[in-house]
Amino acid sequence: MNTLPQRGVLRVVPPAALDAAIKAQDEARAAAEAAAQTPEMSNLAGFIRTQFEIMRTHRNNAQSGWSERLLSALRAFNGQYDALKLAEIRKFGGSEVYARVIAMKCRGASSLLRDVYLAPDRPWGIQAGPDPEVPPEIMQSIQQLVQSEAGTLQVNGRPPDVASLRDRTLQLMAAAREAAKKKTVLQAKVAEDKVDELLIDGGFYKALSEFLTDLPLFPFACIKGPVVRIVPTVAWQNGQATVQQIPRLFWNRISPFDIWWTPGVSDIEDAAVIERTRVTRADLNDLLDLPGYNTNEIRAVLDEYGRGGLHDNWDSTDAERAVMESRENPNLNRSGLISCLEYHGNVQGRMLREYGMTEEQVPDELRDYFVQAWLIGSHIIKAQLSPSPRKRHPYFITSFEKVPGTPVGNGLPDILNDIQEVANASLRALVNNLSISSGPQVVVNDDRLSPDEDGEELYPWKRWHVQSDPMGNNSQVPVSFFQPTSNAQELLGVYQKFNDMADELSAIPKYLAGAGASGGAGRTASGLAMLMGNASKILQTVAANIDRDVLDPALRQLFDMLLLTDQSGLLTGEEQIRVMGVNVAIQRETQRSRQLEFLQITANPVDVQIVGPKGRAAVLRSVAQTIGLDGQQVVPSDDDLEKQQQQAAAMQQAAAQAQGGQAPSGGNVTQDMGPRTNIAGGAG
């Protein structure tokens, strides 16, 4: 019996099942290819990217976020309508004029703040410690001097009195403490000048100027620093240029669009912060030669970007923001910029160990450590423990109008949004009404016009050629004119009224931008000066926010870094940072006038004898400083004044001796050498 050959059986499946199987195979193949092309992401990189997604989602949330507020503020400053509003206006065919009330108020507020923080008077200072310690060698010298004086008394046969020795020791201690105070004051002044030089070289005041522009415009403004950067410096020696890589401190203004933080915090100091920066391939190439950077990760970034496998971290606000800032749309990115996320926050020790930090750096895997890390794509190009002893990130944020419980406050666009909308509507209606009512409207009956008559042309002394009405109604006028009603005065009154309301709500009067006050005290020059002085007081709250949230912590951060790195003994750690922005805003003119009054009142022989040349010289130096002069160059120093007094006393004494008499007595001639204590019997 012949058997059938053993062959395979053809399986018949429905078309739907076949399509599903083919789709599953395609998806599995695509996933395998993607896994082969996508580099493996470390736990630290995954943690930072997850934190960024949480922060970005919160900021872009329509209910709790502020991304749309940032865009709205930028549109208001540029005088642009949003796309939906502009489409409605163009559908109506009306004017697209924009009032720009908010932009004017922002410029006025920024000018007031610049007058406080960027004037010749520094809005900060370094104050010497209140009770400096007397050096041990001075203490030893005092003890030796007292013992020597006691021994001299014993040699002369006069036993020393214990009370007198104690008084003598206290007197010398007081003199030494006073000398120590003067020395610390001079040292604090030298340190203040040196710190100010560091701030100027690091671009602090430039960043502060940009920060003051952002403050009234956005819900918050941010300044970053100090950040250490190694920059090439050219040094000339014997006519030859040598390039040296020198570390320097820098400060930057950070755009509110480029910073994110932990959503749930009420104080920015407690938040983890992510800043997005943009670097070029040239910047990454320069990082290859710097210590602390992961060379392999940087090379991987350059390789992936060159092959088009690196995806940037774009935000939903980037495209519209780029258009309003006159930059290239980042979605095109023909400039070749690479997005980098800079993270400042706590990370668990286990992730840091996996990244490559040593057990000495991270002794406990379960403890969180405050770190700085830079992420590009899926690559950590650098990660380090924060060098700040306070474990604080270098970002300082405040708002024009603070809201308790959140770092995000209100800017002038938030305060004046309704006023701006009504002002725009009134101004558009005014322009539309002016254009319609600027001339007569013409009604032409085309049936009555002659065939060769052009009803579209209108000019003076035109002759209209018309025909008889075929219906016999020749009483109907073929061409008629009427004048539309002009509502310009009413609309202009509404616009001006809402401008006045903007003055009240923003507390930034229009005359700060150059417009004259309409009446009252503003009709005279002195009255207008008084009004502008009062307007300065309304920003005292804003200045207090800047002092408390920005200047004070930023300067303390710099103070800590100088104490950690400075080896010249410039700072001792006992100095105190004084931030005086509010005081400058309040007391600048008052203090100057009071000083001038003091000089006038004390310009008499009795007060001059009490104050003395040194006291009057101190007031003169202060006045010269407030008017932009160097008081140290205008007024002689205390040593020079003392020499002048000695020379005058010597000349008077010589003149008296030449006349056969004695030198006249008085405090104006003899120099006050201080009290002299007789150890045996008190003052002598």
At 508-550, the pLDDT tens digits run: 877 665 555 544 444 444 444 444 455 566 677 888 899 999 9
Asked if 630 and 624 touch (Cβ cutoff 8 Å), the reply is yes
- In this predicted structure, what is the pLDDT of residue 202? 92
Q: Among positive and negative, which fits the CA dihedral 10, 14, 18, 20?
A: negative
- In this predicted structure, what is the pLDDT of residue 564? 83
Distance CA 407, CA 273 (A): 12
Average of pLDDT values for 576-583? 77
Query: Distance between alpha carbon 149 and the CA centroid of its chain, in Å?
Result: 60
Average pLDDT for the chain: 80
- In this predicted structure, what is the pLDDT of residue 199? 93
Per-residue pLDDT band for 629 (boundaries 50, 70, 90) equals: low
Among 53-67, 214-228, 491-505, top mean pLDDT goes to 214-228
Asked if 301 and 381 touch (Cβ cutoff 8 Å), the reply is yes
- In this predicted structure, what is the pLDDT of residue 641? 74
Instruction: Give the ranges where 455-580 is alpha helix by DSSP (H).
Output: 488-506, 525-537, 540-546, 552-565
Per-residue pLDDT band for 472 (boundaries 50, 70, 90) equals: low
Distance CA 165, CA 156 (A): 16
SS (H, E, C) 288-325: CCCCCCCHHHHHHHHHHHHCCCCCCCCCCCHHHHHHHC
Instruction: Give the ranges where 538-673 is alpha helix by DSSP (H).
Output: 540-546, 552-565, 581-601, 605-626, 631-634, 638-658
Distance CA 226, CA 247 (A): 12
Average of pLDDT values for 141-145? 79
- In this predicted structure, what is the pLDDT of residue 216? 94
Average of pLDDT values for 188-217? 91
213: left (phi over 0), alpha (psi -120 to 50) or beta: alpha
- In this predicted structure, what is the pLDDT of residue 674? 39
Token output for 512: 């700060």
Tell me the per-residue pLDDT of 323-361, one tens digit each, with 9 for 90 and over: 898 888 877 777 888 889 999 999 999 999 998 888 899
Distance CA 462, CA 679 (A): 119
Flag whether pLDDT at 131 surpasses 80: no
Per-residue pLDDT band for 375 (boundaries 50, 70, 90) equals: very high
Out of 81-95, 467-481, 523-537, which region has the weakest mean confidence (pLDDT)? 523-537
Tell me the per-residue pLDDT of 30-39, one tens digit each, with 9 for 90 and over: 555 544 444 5
- In this predicted structure, what is the pLDDT of residue 669? 41
The amino acid present at 162, given as its one-letter code, is: V
Per-residue pLDDT band for 185 (boundaries 50, 70, 90) equals: confident
pTM of the model: 0.75
Asked if 562 and 583 touch (Cβ cutoff 8 Å), the reply is no
Tell me the per-residue pLDDT of 418-462, one tens digit each, with 9 for 90 and over: 999 999 999 999 999 998 888 888 888 887 888 888 888 888 888
